[in-house]
């Protein structure tokens, strides 16, 4: 892979980070993004504000978790790495603490089938992975499990993960998940929302496959 295309990938990660701020799905420096690259992945550095983040600060990590000792990958590199290892169809992982997703995660709630768009995350629910300390292998294992047959999950007392075959698709899904979380939160203010039947979500899953932005 050429140095130019690697540089473009690094810049696309920074651009996605900055757009998380514009979209209101990021809080401070708590989001992180990875993109499959060559024999490993490229991942955001830990605790660097997106406004000042430079392409050379993005960390290349091997699939064995190795990285240049002079660099500091996101504290959440374990789940980024484990998701990319477990899911060959996934090329991008987006993690953030979006307000409504995090409210539901604090309450330990999964998102049920309140709206047909839940199908864009791959099933009739968006699961909430049990709590484990940030950056740990335990959290990584919970996340991989909650993502089984899914493209997004919540993390209890923590935030949200959205994955995709491309960075643009993972970012798009992160926005959709936050919208669903906001809708569910709103419904809970009024009462107990009615849910779509499993059979209807199955029907929608068939129709919605491939929906969302194309591109890298």
Q: Does 137 bind ligand 13P (CB under 6 A)?
A: no
**47 part of the interface to ligand 13P, by CB under 6 A:** yes
Distance of alpha carbon 156 from alpha carbon 70, whole angstroms: 32
CB of 115 to ligand 13P, least distance (A): 27
Stretch of 40-48, 55-63, 164-172, 180-188 contacting ligand 13P, by CB under 6 A: 40-48
| Parallel, antiparallel or unpaired: strands 152-155 and 128-129 | parallel
Interaction of residue 75 with ligand 13P, rule CB under 6 A: yes
Minimum distance from residue 155 beta carbon to ligand 13P (Å): 8
What's the Cα-to-Cα distance from 208 to each of 81, 150, 205, rounded to whole Å?
28, 14, 5
What is the Cα–Cα distance from 17 to 116, expressed in whole angstroms? 28
Sheet holding 128-129: strands in order across? 59-62, 40-43, 32-37, 92-96, 159-164, 152-155, 128-129
Asked if 176 is an active-site residue, the reply is no
Q: In residues, how long is the chain?
A: 216
Instruction: Decide if residue 125 touches ligand 13P (CB under 6 A).
Output: no
| Residue 82 binds ligand 13P, judged by CB under 6 A | no
Contact with ligand 13P (CB under 6 A): which of 11, 21, 29, 57? 29
Q: Which residues contact ligand 13P (rule: CB under 6 A)?
A: 29-30, 32, 44, 46-47, 74-76, 134
Catalytic residues: 76
């Amino acid at each position: 892979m050429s140095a130019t295309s690697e540089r473009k990938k690094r810049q696309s990660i920074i651009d996605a980070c900055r757009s998380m701020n514009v979209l209101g799905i990021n809080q401070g420096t708590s989001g992180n993004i990875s993109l499959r690259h060559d024999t490993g992945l490229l991942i955001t550095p830990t605790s660097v504000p997106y406004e000042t983040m430079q392409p050379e600060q993005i960390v290349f990590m091997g699939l064995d978790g190795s990285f240049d000792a002079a660099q500091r990958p996101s504290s959440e590199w374990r789940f980024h790495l484990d998701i990319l290892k477990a899911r060959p169809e996934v090329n991008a992982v987006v993690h953030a603490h979006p307000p409504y997703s995090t409210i539901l995660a604090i309450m330990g709630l999964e998102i049920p089938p309140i709206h047909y768009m839940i199908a864009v995350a791959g099933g009739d629910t968006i699961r909430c992975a049990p709590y484990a300390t940030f950056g740990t292998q335990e959290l990584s294992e919970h996340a991989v499990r909650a993502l089984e047959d899914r493209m997004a999950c919540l993390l209890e007392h923590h935030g949200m993960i959205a994955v995709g075959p491309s960075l643009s698709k993972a970012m798009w899904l992160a926005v959709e998940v936050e919208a669903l979380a906001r809708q569910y939160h709103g419904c809970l203010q009024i009462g107990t929302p009615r849910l779509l039947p499993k059979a209807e979500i199955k029907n929608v899953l068939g129709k919605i496959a491939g929906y969302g932005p194309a591109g890298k």
